[in-house]
Amino acid sequence: MPPTDRFAPPPSLLTGKRIVLGVTGGIAAYKAADHASYLAQQGVDLRVVMTAAATRFVGPMTFEAITRQPVYRDVFDGWAGEEAGHVTLAASADAVIVAPATANTIARMAQGMVDDMLTATLLATQAPIIVAPAMEHHMWHHPATRANIELLRSRGVTIVEPESGHLASGANGDGRLTSRDRIVAAVREQLARGGPLAGRKVVVSAGGTHEAIDPVRFIGNRSSGQMGVALADAAFDAGADVVSVVGPTVTVPPMVGRVERCESAREMSALVQEETGDADVLIMAAAVADFRPESAVASKIKKGPGDDAPIVRLTRNPDILATVKRDGLFLVGFAAETDDLVANSQAKLQAKALDMLVANDAVATIGSANSQATLLFANGDVIQLPLLAKAELARVIVHQLIPALPEAERKDA
């Protein structure tokens, strides 16, 4: 794969997917416009279906402007040309989201009613259904709603639970529509099923570590963890069971998979050792501190008048990659180099006995949204990549490691 302008990283999981967004009649319907806009920006082929009550809260034109597609409402919509109303929409969907889902629509779904385009589509589709309820606290906790939710769950519908907080009534309580990120994560989980990493556990480390000097001070680095988070996303979207071990510098942890937080290199090491016990792949994207203060002082170091500045003696941290148990574990390391990138990286690949190493220019990469990387493999293959967004680079790395996994571990899609 030579560096060329025509190099195209694999598309994201959402790109080109046909998703039907059902919007029902609660005040949170206005938030669905933001969800629709986000999905459209991700390249989703989005079709919006509104209930009659939803159109009282938000004009269909809002969604038509966002999707550049007609908004379906009536069960008799969409019979023009090749389209066969709800049947075509239901059959062509990769996923159907209902957000916000009112107690009324949840009840209609539970009963299998077909009195508008949305319920007809929901009954006719074979695609995964993701429901994000939003309603008043007492409606959410009413035994009727509880029973309907459990019934939908038992039929395989994914319920993205509402949150606690400010409700339209002015009261605080349960029933607030959950965040867009959580809804999108639930959709991705459904779309990623059966992907090339299905049944595989991938552990990804991300971010820098903090090495305590005293209870309030630490030695740290500038790593934002963006690369590790992008890798967790890419592995998740390939169907993997992902555990992210994230350092304290990561302000936006992955929205998908399981996230384990840690502070220091030693804490990260313990978590990585534990999580890789039954893992197939370890991707060490974290900028682990190489050194830590020999001993962290128990109370804050004072600067009294006339006191000398303290001397902080450093000691080496464990090298996690070099010490992790590796039976059947595919190891991916990162190298941030400032010169002789390929030669230094090849030496590192061998010294740490890695299966794959991602080498990038230290100065250009840290803290940037882009990265220009070279991939090196244990068999000697070298792939030089063009400048890519970190999310694109993450997809390239994940798709390159899939065929490099040992035969027995690879699950062909």
- Residues forming contacts to ligand C5P in the complex (CB under 6 A) are 265, 284, 286, 288, 290, 317-321, 333-335
Taking a C-beta distance cutoff of 8 angstroms, is the pair 113, 124 a contact? no
| Cβ nearer to ligand C5P, comparing 133 with 225 | 225
What is the spatial distance between Cα 245 and Cα 216, in angstroms, rounded to a whole number? 23
Parallel/antiparallel/unpaired status of strands 95-101 and 18-23: parallel
**Which residue type, as a one-letter code, is found at position 105?**
T
- Beta-bridged to residue 173, according to DSSP, are 165
What is the spatial distance between Cα 105 and Cα 119, in angstroms, rounded to a whole number? 8
Q: How far is the CB of 246 from ligand C5P (least distance, A)?
A: 12
Q: How far is the CB of 336 from ligand C5P (least distance, A)?
A: 7
What is the spatial distance between Cα 317 and Cα 324, in angstroms, rounded to a whole number? 14
H/E stretch holding 183: helix 180-192
Q: How far is the CB of 334 from ligand C5P (least distance, A)?
A: 4
Q: How far is the CB of 289 from ligand C5P (least distance, A)?
A: 7
| Cβ nearer to ligand C5P, comparing 175 with 333 | 333
| Cβ nearer to ligand C5P, comparing 72 with 334 | 334
The one catalytic residue among 104, 148, 221, 317? 221
| Cβ nearer to ligand C5P, comparing 101 with 320 | 320
Q: How many residues does the chain have?
A: 413
Residues 6+ positions from 314 with CB-CB distance below 8 Å? 219, 291, 292, 293, 294
What is the spatial distance between Cα 330 and Cα 388, in angstroms, rounded to a whole number? 24
What is the spatial distance between Cα 162 and Cα 137, in angstroms, rounded to a whole number? 10
H/E stretch holding 270: helix 265-275
What is the spatial distance between Cα 174 and Cα 167, in angstroms, rounded to a whole number? 8
H/E stretch holding 47: strand 45-50
**Which residue type, as a one-letter code, is found at position 145?**
T
Check if 221 is active-site. yes
Q: How far is the CB of 211 from ligand C5P (least distance, A)?
A: 11
Taking a C-beta distance cutoff of 8 angstroms, is the pair 54, 102 a contact? no
Q: In Å, what is the CA distance from 111 to each residue of 21, 93, 151, 159, 160?
A: 20, 22, 9, 17, 20
Q: How far is the CB of 364 from ligand C5P (least distance, A)?
A: 16
| Cβ nearer to ligand C5P, comparing 12 with 317 | 317
| Cβ nearer to ligand C5P, comparing 344 with 384 | 344
| Cβ nearer to ligand C5P, comparing 127 with 234 | 234
Q: How far is the CB of 227 from ligand C5P (least distance, A)?
A: 10
Taking a C-beta distance cutoff of 8 angstroms, is the pair 249, 332 a contact? no
What is the spatial distance between Cα 18 and Cα 384, in angstroms, rounded to a whole number? 34
Nearest to 196 by CA among 161, 242, 240, 227: 240
Catalogue the active-site residues: 221
